[in-house]
Amino acid sequence: MQKSCVTENGVNSNIINAFAHENMSEKEADMGKFEIILWDVDQTLLDFKRSENYAVRYCFGLFGLKVTDEIVAMYSGINEGFWKRIEKGEITKKEALVERFRAFFSQIGVTGVEPEEFQMHYADALGSVYYYQDDSYELVKQLKGQYRQYLVTNGVTHTQRKKLKLSGLDQLVEDIFVSEEIGVPKPQKEYFDRCFSRIQDFDKEKVIIVGDSLSSDMLGGNNAGLVTCWYNPGGLKNESEVRIDYEIKNLQDIISVLKEER
């Protein structure tokens, strides 16, 4: 038989305990099952394609070269190919940053411009502008204090830290993990292991990674044993073998994912 008692104000203690338990359960449900968010930066929180477009056009103007939409698109494709080679370990980042422009200039017939010099100006221009995606600044600001948020990026240290400071995102997160500083890129498991070692009270079961790249963010999440959320505004098909736990088309949709019960 369950015992009960009456408090000084005449209220049954069983009722108080039940009410407290109900409130605690509601609070836990509001928190959801995640406590840590790993955000990708380029083409997730920030619109990299717009920044890339600006940087290419700026540098072409700087060197007195004619630029068109087709030329920008051509560079974008070459650049993406080199970053995928970095992810696979086929080329180092240091090599790729220059070689992408050597390959690009060769393809469009540009001569008399040193790839190393162009790269220097391009990196600086790329870090001087930023464009939020889906009101990402306000989203990260809203989640600050409710979740521990970290940035995980394969970008160049100087470029990433410059634009993250300009955007104000660096003030909203706990830490920023740039692959150039970490020593290995996403999607390698070692990259994530090194990141995890810098996060206090780390519990892998309470972490979710959000990003746009299947080959970098989502595969990296798989390799690290994390819950993955694919940011897929274009509605692309996942034709790879990469496991996707959640998929969102707008960054704001992450709120409903985070509030899922434990």
Q: Which positions are annotated as active-site residues?
A: 40
Three-state secondary structure call for residue 13: helix
Sign of the alpha-carbon torsion through 204, 208, 211, 213: positive
Residue among 230, 232, 228, 190 nearest 209 (CA): 228
DSSP states of 31-65: H-S--EEEE-TBTTTB-HHHHHHHHHHHHHHHTT-
Phi/psi at 107 (5° precision): -70, -35
- Residue at token pair 């996942």: 238
Distance, in Å, from the CA atom of 74 to the CA atom of 68, rounded to the nearest integer, reads 10
Integer Cα distance of 99 and 69 in angstroms = 22
